[in-house]
A and B are shown apart, each in its own frame.
Chain A
Amino acid sequence: MDLITKEKIKQVKRGDQSAFADIVSFYQHKIYQHCYRMLGNRHEAEDIGQETFIRAYINIHSFDDKRKFSTWLYRIATNLTIDRIRKRKPDYYLDAEIRGTDGLNMYSQLATDSRLPEEEVQGMELQDYINQEIAGLPPKYRSVIILRYLEEFSLQEISDILDIPLGTVKTRIHRGREALRKKLRHV
């Protein structure tokens, strides 16, 4: 796919929109899923996912052919989701229901030690519970955990995507793993 992607990007750089449609087809599910994991709801995931591709198209000339396109694309997506998370904090009420989730509010997004995980698990599908716990991680841990275990990037690639040193990636992954371990060990 890399060769085909390279050729498509060349065409897009010449201004060919139809070549870009093929790129969107190929990456749409990955990028949408990434946004969904980062943001925790479908509405925002669609919004930011589309914004990712539009930004990529507009800025395609700044993409260096020698680099990996997927890395570049995930970088745009991750930055946009983190921006969105930062922006939404003030205008979301903690007890407001989160769009696209069933009865979840912002309290459930907060890491608290007061509630017992066993109680949370009751009446909830395991998948949903895990998703919720991933979404409940602080964004900087969430992004590395998602990239490492759901998108299966190498540590070096994650360092490229997030533009942070390899050592920082490792530290965040360790902390993210520990945080999830504490939440999921009772499952």
Chain B
Amino acid sequence: MNCSNEAVELMHKYLDHDLTKEEEQKLRIHLEDCEACQKHFHELERTIKLIQNTEQIKAPADFKDNVMQNLPAEKKSVKYTRWFKAHPVLTAAAIFFIFMFSGMFSTWDQNGELVVSKQENLEIRGDTVIVPEGVTVDGDLVVKNGNLRIDGTVDGDVRLINGELIEEEDTIEGSGLMASAGEVNGDLQQVDQMFEWLWLHLKDLFKNIFSLGYIQLIG
């Protein structure tokens, strides 16, 4: 066996765990006979041990911070997402209010048009809704963006939004007897302004939540 080439080649293969059984046998037999190769082999093994035993080097303490400071800015959305994850209660509250207010504003926003709850026997003149005399309206009556005159009877609650309740009977007939105010067998609520609209919604909300069922007249 040629010491300078073949044996050394086998040694390196051995160090890389690449030797076949026969090659290993071959190397072993050669090493037993050849002192020079034995020495070479030990030097190689010792070299590897020396390299492996060098101390571990640690990065400076501020290494990570320096890296983080030099990174390009992250997306805003991710920052918010992380904040939301860190504050679940606040996030839940925020979402709750967003839904509540957006719902309220969207209902308020259907402005301008006269809206009347679907009931029979109602008379509509221009922007005035009339409950004619001698007529009984069943159920709750809602009028939005219009005035309401009640000559007859409403068997339920009345809700008047963005309009006025015309109390006085001043028709052409002008008869005193006919001037008797209509009857509402329930509550009468009148809402004129956004603030009151808001208040009403909140009140409804709490009423639904707590099922207290208390009723208040606004107007």
Q: Chain A residues in contact with chain B, CB under 8 A?
A: 14-18, 20-21, 24-25, 28-29, 31-33, 36-37, 42, 46, 49-50, 53-54, 57-58, 126-127, 130-131, 134, 145, 149-150, 155, 170, 173-174, 177-178, 180-181, 184-185, 187
Which B residues lie within 8 Å of A32 (CB)?
57-60, 63
Which A residues lie within 8 Å of B64 (CB)?
21, 24-25, 28
Q: Which bracket fits the contact residues of B?
A: 35 or more
Within 8 A of A (CB), among B1-44: 8-9, 12, 15-16, 18, 40, 43-44
Q: Chain B residues in contact with chain A, CB under 8 A?
A: 8-9, 12, 15-16, 18, 40, 43-44, 46-48, 50-52, 54-60, 63-64, 66-68, 70-72, 74-75, 77-78, 82
A160 to B69, CA, bound (A): 30
15 contacts between A and B (CB under 8 A): A16-B74, A17-B78, A29-B59, A32-B60, A33-B59, A50-B66, A53-B67, A57-B72, A127-B55, A145-B51, A149-B48, A150-B54, A174-B12, A178-B44, A181-B43
A54 to B72, CA, bound (A): 8
Give the dominant DSSP class at B's interface: helix
* In contact, B56 and A29 (Cβ under 8 angstroms): yes
* In contact, B67 and A24 (Cβ under 8 angstroms): yes
